Amino acid sequence: MHIHILGICGTFMGSLAQLAKALGHRVSGCDANVYPPMSTQLEAAGIEMFEGFGLEQFTDRPDLVVIGNAMSRGNPAVEYVLDRGIAYTSGPQWLCDYLLQDKWVLAVSGTHGKTTTASMLTWILEYADFEPGYLIGGVPGNFEHSARLGKSDFFVVEADEYDSAFFDKRSKFVHYRPRTLIINNLEYDHADIFPDLHAIQTQFHHLVRTVPSCGTILYPTEPAITEVIDRGCWSETQILGTDWTASLLDDSGAEFDIYFKDELIGRVRWNLSGKHNVNNGLAAVAAARTIGLDPAVACQALCEFKGVKRRMEQLANFADIAIYDDFAHHPTAIQTTLEGLRAKIKEERIVAIIELRSNTMKSGVHNRELAQAAQSADVVLWYQAGDDHDNLTSIVHHSPVAAKRCNSIDDIVELVPTLISGKTHVVVMSNGGFGGIHKKLIAKLSEDRW
C-alpha cells in the first residue's frame, strides 16, 4: 500500500511514518518545514518527502492519505484529497487500524510526564527482554528512535489528549484502546481547543470507557482525575500514592524506595532529579507489573534509565556553568523541574530562560501561575516571539524572584554572561526550537570562558 502523510515532520506523524515503513508499506509525505532531526530520520528510512503542500506530490496517487492534526480545510493538499475522493484517515485511527489490533497496549496519558513515563515504561520492558513496540513523543535516551514495531504483543504509546484531525475532534487517545492505562495527572491545558478543564475531563472519561474490564487503570488521587473515574469505571484500578508509594532517600529524588501495598519491592538510584520524575518512575513500575513483570526487575531497569532528549538534557558543562534544554509547556512542568534541580544543586545559582510558546501559555490564562512556577530560580528571563508582550509584563510584575522581559533572543544571549555568579545552572525552557538559542548560548559562554 502507498501511504502519503500530510504533516509528516511532527514527532507523532514522523514516528508513525517510520512504523508504516517498517510494516512494509511504501510511505511518502509532506510538511511546511522539512528539516532535521525528523527529516534525517525519515530520509534514512527511505521515505520520500515534499516541501510544502503543492499538488505535484499527488502525481502518483496514494492508496491512503494520513492527515495530521495540524492540517485544516483550505490547505491545498487537504482540498485535493477531498475533491478527488482519495481515502483518508487520521494518524491515531491509522495506528489503531493497522498496528494496535491484537496488541496489549500500555498507554501513558496526563497533562505532564507522558513522554518521560512512556520512555521509562518502554525501557523497563526492554530491559526485561519483552522487546516492546512503542511510539513516544520524544527520543528516549535508551533508544535511537522515537518509535519501533517491536517483537512482542506489547506496545507502549504516549497517549495525547490533543484532537485527532480537523474531521475528528476526539482526543488522539480514544483510538488506542489500552489494556493498561496510566493517568499521570490532569490540569487545564490546550486552551486553543478546550474551553475549560471539564471539557478535558470528558475526553479522559471517553478514554476510561475504552479500557476493558480485564484491564487496569493507574492514577493518583488528584481531584480532577477522581472526578473522571467517578463518572464510571469498569476496570481494575490501582492508586498511585496509596497502593503504590515511593519513599525518598534523597531530597533531590536521586534515590528512593518503591512499595506496593506497604511491601518494599525495590530501590532506585538514578541520575534524574525531582519528585515529578519519582512519580513518573512509580507509575512505570506499576504499569509494568500489570503484564506480569517483576517490580524488582523494573526498579533495576530504572537505575539504568538515561532520560529523554529535551527533558533537562544537559547540553554543555563548563567549569562554572551547566546548560540544560527542557521541554516546558505548562506552569506545573516548569515548577516541578526547577524544584527538582534546586533540591539537587542546593545553593548553586539557577538562571531560567523561559519562552511562552504553547497556545495555553500565550493565551494568558496561566500568567499568575507562571510567575510563581519559576520561584526556585535565582533569576528568570521571559521571552515570547512577536510584538505582544502584555503577558510577559504581567508575569514579570508578579514574579517572586528577579525577572526580566526580553525582546529578542540576541538580547538574552548577551545578558546571560552577566548573570553568571559562581556555579550557575542555565535552564532553557521551551516546547519549541527557541530560535536556536541553545547553540548561541553555548557559543557565547564558551567564547567568554576562553
Mean pLDDT to the nearest integer, 227-234: 97
Residue 97 in domain: no
Residue 161 in domain: yes
Residue that terminates a domain, selected from 91, 119, 147: 91
Q: Is 152 in the same domain as 266?
A: yes
Residue 96 in domain: no
What is the tens place of the pLDDT at every residue in 98-121? Answer: 999 999 999 999 998 899 999 999
Question: Which of 287-296, 356-365, 429-438 comes out lowest in average pLDDT?
Answer: 356-365
Residue 308 in domain: no
Q: Is 53 in the same domain as 178?
A: no
Cα separation, 126 vs 142, whole angstroms: 9
Q: Is 186 in the same domain as 288?
A: yes
Residue 122 in domain: yes
Q: Is 366 in the same domain as 238?
A: no
Q: Please report which confidence band the pLDDT of residue 150 belongs to, taking 50, 70 and 90 as the band edges.
A: very high
Residue 307 in domain: no
CATH assignment of the domain containing 20? 3.40.50.720
Question: Which of 118-127, 312-321, 388-397 comes out lowest in average pLDDT?
Answer: 388-397
Mean pLDDT to the nearest integer, 222-240: 97
Calculate what percentage of the chain has a pLDDT beyond 70. Answer: 95
Count CA within 13 A, CB hemisphere, residue 47. 35
Residue that terminates a domain, selected from 277, 302, 327: 302
Residue 85 in domain: yes
**Does residue 293 have a pLDDT over 90?**
yes
Q: Is 382 in the same domain as 356?
A: yes
For residue 403, the enclosing domain spans: 313-449
Among 232, 205, 237, 206, which residue's Cα sits nearest to residue 221? 237
**Contacts with 414 (C-beta within 8 Å, 6 or more apart), sequence order:** 444
Mean pLDDT to the nearest integer, 422-443: 85
Q: Is 280 in the same domain as 343?
A: no
Q: Is 229 in the same domain as 146?
A: yes
Residue that terminates a domain, selected from 302, 328, 344: 302
pTM for this prediction: 0.86
CATH assignment of the domain containing 351? 3.90.190.20
Calculate what percentage of the chain has a pLDDT beyond 90. Answer: 60
pLDDT of residue 241: 95
Mean pLDDT to the nearest integer, 161-190: 94
Q: Please report which confidence band the pLDDT of residue 450 belongs to, taking 50, 70 and 90 as the band edges.
A: very low
Q: Is 130 in the same domain as 261?
A: yes
Q: Using an 8 Å Cβ cutoff, are 92 and 175 in contact?
A: yes
Q: Is 145 in the same domain as 293?
A: yes
What is the tens place of the pLDDT at every residue in 42-84? Answer: 888 889 999 999 999 999 999 999 999 999 999 999 999 999 9
Q: Which residues of 77-103 are buried (b: 16+ CB within 10 A; e: fewer)?
A: bbebbeeeeeebbbbbbbbbebbbeeb
**Contacts with 300 (C-beta within 8 Å, 6 or more apart), sequence order:** 127, 266
